[in-house]
Structure 1
Amino acid sequence: MVSIDEVAREAGVSTATVSRALSGRGHVSDPTRARVEAAAKSLGYVVSASASSLASGRTRNIGVLVPFLDRWFFSTVLSGIATALQRRGYDITLYTLTADRTQRREIFDTFLRRQRVDGVIAISIELGDEETDLLLELGLPVIAIGGPNPKLTTLTVDDITVARLATEHLIALGHTAIAHIGASQEFDLDFHIPTQRRQGFEVAMTDAGIPARAALFEPADFTIEGGFRAAKQLMGRPGERPTAIFAASDEMAIGALLAARELGYRVPEDLSVVGIDGHELGEFFRLTTVDQFPLAQGERAADAILAELDAPAGDRARADLPFELIVRGSTARLPA
């Protein structure tokens, strides 16, 4: 097995410099760091996790709390976290936090108290006061995506403003018969994101003097299949037909596009569709969306947790995450 002394000799530096260069702790010039990394790679040297932990008091592991692993948004944020942490030599441990109170309590009382992580990132999970206090008792940095939570450092998207932006885009194109695909109560859990997006939709409609009609709302489950079924309901009912649909997620918006195609409607000539998220399939479907950059959200959360490890923040802060309207081919001006 290659030792750190061999790497030091190969790179022409001290063992202390090798340690600083490979751990990311302490100042090392870029040329020296590159030389050390090249020497380590050529010799096949890998830093011992146990030795590094003993020397630094860190596990070089970050715990991530996530409500779903099989949903595109959460897996994309997770990918951003994992990529950014891997660049800095950190591993991640995943904890799926469901609505089951017993399961949640076990994670906070048992798993997180084993001291196997240096910090915790929570992805779009609304933590109760008791759960927040249990996290803070660990004495570890905590970054929450979503919120805000006044006790934690949070990275937050303003979902009301995001939904207003999507709806106002349709209104600016002349649409007034605008339907909304949101979510039923069972899916309106953490941070009430579907409710906030519906509020943003209704505020934009009210500000434009357009009544938001109950007949033009249909709940779904934030999946392509759910959006497909909801759109078919909206467009298949007798009476007023929507000329535009605002879906509270890109996956539901893609489902609406597929439903329109099956029913013989042209997009955007007969129906305009806009979503929220910035889904990777959006460009393929030419979907107009409000991109909230989920991959970058994960990278930013990882940077924030490592920054707090190096220099713990005093006051808990809230940072607003960016978003941007991306206009593609699924929306157009209402024909005269």
Structure 2
Amino acid sequence: MSDLASDWACPLSAGTRRRAACALGAWAFGAWATGNAWAAWPDKPMELVVGFAAGGGTDTTARTLALHLSRRLGVPVVVSNKPGASGELGLAHVAKSAPDGYLIGMSNMPGLVTLPMERRTRFKAGDFAYIANIVRDPSAFSVLGNSPYRSIDDLIADAKARPGQISYGSTGTGTDDHLALVLFERLTGAQFTHVPYNGAGPLRTAVLGGHVLVGGMNLGEVMPYRDKLRVLAQASPGRSRLAPDVPSFNEQHVDLVFNSERGIVAPAGLPADARQRLTDALRSVAADPLFQQQMQAQFTEMDYLEGAAWQARLEKAAAEFGALWKSAPWTDS
């Protein structure tokens, strides 16, 4: 014990009033010491959890972001992949962790709001501090470069001629890739066989190996492989400025606008000082031209929205997806 701390020691032989004064002093010293220790946050490595396998868009975004955060916070930020259950395992790990600022997670919407609708998850909305959304990545349908499908019309025609015989791979039940298929089927009347994977990396391997005919991956996950894969359509409102040669669903007469939104959450109860410093760091990263260039190189669009504004948007999305779920549950799609 330091000399200062020993000054607040309360001997049992002291009178009641003196012991009370000692206790108050000890409490004050403890609060001072804790405050000074917290002012140094972070003073050890941080962990950024990703609920999908390495090699997918969420993982790539997280690894780029981690490098920028590390420079701003002054400690290593290590990405930890915890794939499984369409991202639930990673989110649950974040939700159950100590709210000390040393473990944060990269969330993926819609899974962040839809997973608790379709099953009893190991996390709930109130388990998180919602720091900021960072980017969005449009959904897309892709096939092998030598596939007979050259357009969305080709795919629709064959799916209607052979209902349920064309395999469609996604990054998991309830993810944006799966829900893009659900909406596509309802918009077109075509029927597919859904095959879930633990992330875009394994799914991309499956498409390249011919194990599934169509891959539901985000635009940023498939564009680096354009020499082997053909993107039939992407789900921006129009052609993405990052991939102007890739047609949208809309221009092929399918009113599908959908994307993956990736943000940063922490366990609920994160101290205000840590939350503010983390928010400041994320805001700085999002405004950094280098980070923006890196996201553009990954065909990923900036979509920075922090704190209460982001949480309000998530709540609105939850209400919309909740109405969709009630009208026609999608787990068996």
Band of TM-score, shorter chain:
0.3 to 0.5
Q: TM-score, normalised by structure 2?
A: 0.41
Ranked by relative contact order (alpha carbons within 8 Å, sequence separation 6 or more), the top structure is: 2
Q: TM-score, normalised by structure 1?
A: 0.40
Q: Which has the higher strand share?
A: 2
